[in-house]
Amino acid sequence: MKVVMIAADVHFAEFVERHTDSLLTTAYLLTRDRAAAEELLQDVLVAMYPQWRKVLAADSALAYVRRSLVNRFLNQRRRRTGADLPLADLCEAGGPDFTAGVADRDQVRRVLAELPERQRAAVVLRYFYDYSDQQIADALACRIGTARSLISRALASMRAPAGDIPSGTGGMLR
Amino acid sequence: MNVEESESIVRDELRRDAANAPSGRQLRATVLDAVADVPMTERAGRRWALPLLVAAAVVALAIAATLLPRAFGKHSQPAKPSPAPSLPAPPSSWHLACAKDQQQVTGAGTRYSIAGGVRYAYEYYCAAPDGSRTGSEIDTFQMIDGQLEFDQGLLARGVQQYVMSMTGTDGGLLIREYDASLGIEGQPGGLISDVRLQIDAGGLYTGVGHPVAQPCLATDLMVEVRSANEPTIHEVLRLTNHSGKACAVWGNPRYSWADKAHAGTARSVVRGPAGGLAAGQLAAPPLLLQPGETASAAIAADSQGPADFNCPLSPLSATLANGVRLGTLDWNTCHLVSYPLVRAGNGSVDHPESEAPPLATSGSCGTATTATNEFELSTGSIRTLPGGRIGTALIVSAHGGSTCTIGGLPNVRALDAGGNLLAIAHQQPLPGLPTGQVTVSPGHPASALVDWTSGSCYPDGHTLQLALGGDGYGFGQSLGRFCDLRVHQFVSGSTGSG
């Protein structure tokens, strides 16, 4: 394999200059907290710097970093809840599966704000970044069917009757 | 509220949320400070010492240009490539680590001069049959004892910038590039810039970018779907820039069905019957659309998909590769193939599909090192095959005492009576047969099976053409009106089926 000959430190600086705003938007959409978003992105970029040549070897440096951002966000949740869950289980974590109901914009807004982290990450990647099912599955390190399921559950919960809206943020393990 | 309404509200809410995201101005400085003393693993042991301040200044220029209002009324002319005859062939042993389904492509090349002498720059990237590709990598070389030796890398694939043209100058390079990465604040990628790269004798470089065109937005484009001007099954998506400024488009549009019963996304390919791309191009080039100019992309029913009997009309969402939504189309099929956008006026109205098949035949037969007069190409007899298919074998035989090798999936095309390209055969290995190299010697031919079905997908085919060693060899072969042209791997013998 040919080593990618690029001034990696220069590219890192360019990348930070160019993509920080966009990645900070991703972080904010995930965390919904400005300080937490800044902390999350800073942690990711600083952690990735020593291995930046690996990032350069990826097809898309931005997609690679965004995927790392999502992973770190989800891992933080894992540490926060203290659960020692294997990744596959985390993939399956989600809210109850509601299938019908009448809702309005306020309800969608409220449910969107309270989605479990994994569902929220999937929704952000699909509806803000137009990721395909496969790209979402790659980013969340889960199967494509699981990615679809996460989005489907998120949408279903938004359309559920108000009284049935899940209130927790940790989701349920199946 | 239905699913579509929910999705629409979710998009609105996310956009509203995103508007509240903090600015990254302070964070950028914090991150760069934090890593200032952190060692980087596998640091290149060469002369990479461009000061960060210079890099930051260059990038700031580019970002400032990106944030300027979308009003670039005047445009510099595209950089013209250097005359090919003066440029040595790129090093043949220069291999990228392409993904399994991708193929390495050598793109633009040029020479430039610096204080230390002449350098040669070549663009490389990896492309897949579905039209996806990596960013361009630019590597430079110098001639030492008649051989090109690696000098330095100027652009890495991970940056997602596609070189559109590259011209050598006295002291560096002038590069026109398409930036496929997302724009600021999640805006669609697709900024075209001209970058002037100044390189000194020590290999240090600085670059200044000037924006040429922003990505086309839906409001910039008039979108139409028309039938192709030829008796094929294809329709043509036509995008005309009706804004007052140039804008950029690239790649395979995505078509997806909103209807749950047909949820999914159309298959994308680059290979296709004709027009648009030069032979050997494995990825569509970005297109700079001046006001009034049109780009076209073919849409076809997927002959490899299930039959579309009783497939109801279903709204079809069309989106550009960079995520710009074009709107919805009505289409009464459940299985589509998306071809890339190519420039209208380059044969794309009559032949809107791209011409970019992988040249997968390998071996020495047909190359300059082979005495071609000692080898013969011929076709076998027409025969009926299982599944209602019709086929013949393309046979390579040897005379005299020479031998050569051949293997892989050949590049085969069907031409009409006027020699116009109708279809490029889909390359499909036959299961159960070897896929390696075959040695052709007197009495031991090699052959590849070509087969098709009768149907009205294409007009009468009169000639099968085999591309070998950079040349095309034609065989008179009446196909009638046909569909689903396929070619299989070279194997020993003269039947194409082992």
Q: Is A45 exposed, middle or buried (0-12, 13-18, 19+ CB in 10 A)?
A: buried
Mutating which of A158, A159, A165 best tests the B interface, going by the most B Cβ atoms within 10 A?
A: A158
Provide Rg for chain A, Cα atoms.
Answer: 17
User: Residue B388: its pLDDT value, please?
Assistant: 87
Interchain contact B41–A (C-beta under 8 A): yes
For residue B142, which phi and psi values (nearest 5 degrees)? -125, 150
Reported as a pLDDT band with limits 50, 70 and 90, residue B393 is very high
Are β-strands B247-249 and B205-215 bridged in parallel, bridged antiparallel, or unpaired?
parallel
Reported as a pLDDT band with limits 50, 70 and 90, residue B74 is very low
Residue A101 DSSP SS3: coil
- Whether pLDDT at A72 is above 70: yes
Pick from A43, A41, A42, A67: which is nearest to A54 by CA? A67
- What residue spans in chain B does CATH classification 2.60.40 cover? 218-338, 360-492
User: Residue B361: its pLDDT value, please?
Assistant: 60
Q: Is B16 exposed, middle or buried (0-12, 13-18, 19+ CB in 10 A)?
A: exposed
Q: Name the residue among A18, A103, A112 with its Cβ closest to that of B63.
A: A18
> Which residue in the block uniquely carries the two structure tokens 């060692």?
B39
Q: Name the residue among B97, B134, B154 with its Cβ closest to that of A2.
A: B97
User: Residue A96: its pLDDT value, please?
Assistant: 34
User: Residue B84: its pLDDT value, please?
Assistant: 41
Share of chain A above pLDDT 90, in %: 13
Q: What is the mean pLDDT of residues B19-45?
A: 72
Q: Average the pLDDT over each of A12-21, B209-218, B381-390 and give the range with the smallest value.
A: A12-21
CATH 2.60.40 fits B218-338, yes or no: yes
Interchain contact B4–A (C-beta under 8 A): no
Mutating which of B11, B15, B27 best tests the A interface, going by the most A Cβ atoms within 10 A?
A: B27
CA distance A17 to chain B (A): 6
User: Residue B218: its pLDDT value, please?
Assistant: 93
Do residues B286 and B164 touch, judged by C-beta distance below 8 A? yes
A 10 A CB-CB count for A78 gives 15
What residue of A is the nearest CA neighbor of B48? A7
Reported as a pLDDT band with limits 50, 70 and 90, residue A160 is low
User: Residue B471: its pLDDT value, please?
Assistant: 61
The per-residue DSSP string of B17-67 comes to: HHHTSPPSHHHHHHHHHHTTTPPPTT--SS-----HHHHHHHHHHHHHHHH
Name which residue leads in pLDDT, B76 or A95: A95
Strand partners, B264: B257
Interchain contact B217–A (C-beta under 8 A): no
Name which residue leads in pLDDT, B154 or A96: B154
User: Residue A87: its pLDDT value, please?
Assistant: 33
A 10 A CB-CB count for B367 gives 15
ipTM above 0.85, yes or no: no
Name which residue leads in pLDDT, B4 or B140: B140
User: Residue B423: its pLDDT value, please?
Assistant: 74
Reported as a pLDDT band with limits 50, 70 and 90, residue B421 is low
CATH of B360-492 given 3.30.450, 2.60.40, 1.10.60, 2.30.30? 2.60.40
What residue of B is the nearest CA neighbor of A112? B10
Give helix A133-140 / helix A144-158 axis angle, nearest 10°: 100
Do residues A127 and B3 touch, judged by C-beta distance below 8 A? no
Mutating which of A11, A34, A130, A132 best tests the B interface, going by the most B Cβ atoms within 10 A?
A: A130
Interchain contact B6–A (C-beta under 8 A): yes
- Whether pLDDT at A125 is above 70: yes
Name which residue leads in pLDDT, B458 or B85: B458
What Cα–Cα distance (Å) separates residue A64 from each residue in A2, A52, B182, B183, B267? 20, 11, 13, 16, 24
Residues 6+ apart with CB under 8 A from B169: B112, B196
Q: What is the mean pLDDT of residues B255-267?
A: 67
User: Residue B13: its pLDDT value, please?
Assistant: 87
Within B69-126, residue ranges assigned H as helices are none
Q: Compute the mean pLDDT over every residue in chain A, rounded to the nearest whole number.
A: 71
Share of chain B above pLDDT 70, in %: 71
> Which residue in the block uniquely carries the two structure tokens 């994308």?
B268
Reported as a pLDDT band with limits 50, 70 and 90, residue B109 is very high
User: Residue B466: its pLDDT value, please?
Assistant: 80
Residues 6+ apart with CB under 8 A from B431: none
Which residues does chain A have within 8 Å of residue B27's beta carbon, measured at their own beta carbons? Answer: 20, 24, 38, 41-42
Q: What is the mean pLDDT of residues A150-173?
A: 57
- Measured in residues, chain A has a length of 174
Strand partners, B142: B149
Are the Cβ atoms of A49 and B10 closer than 8 angstroms? no
b (16+ CB within 10 A) / e for B439-477: bbeeeebbbbbbbbbeeebbbebbbbbbbbbeeebebeb
Largest separation between any pair of C-alpha atoms in chain A: 59
Most confident option among A22-36, B28-42, B86-100, B172-186: A22-36
Residues 6+ apart with CB under 8 A from A151: A119, A122, A123, A126, A136
Which residues does chain A have within 8 Å of residue B157's beta carbon, measured at their own beta carbons? Answer: 4, 56-57, 59
Do residues B467 and B451 touch, judged by C-beta distance below 8 A? no
Are the Cβ atoms of B18 and A29 closer than 8 angstroms? yes
Q: Compute the mean pLDDT over every residue in chain B, rounded to the nearest whole number.
A: 75
Q: What is the mean pLDDT of residues B16-27?
A: 85
Name which residue leads in pLDDT, B87 or B417: B87
> Which residue in the block uniquely carries the two structure tokens 């952000």?
A124
User: Residue B181: its pLDDT value, please?
Assistant: 82
What residue of B is the nearest CA neighbor of A132? B265
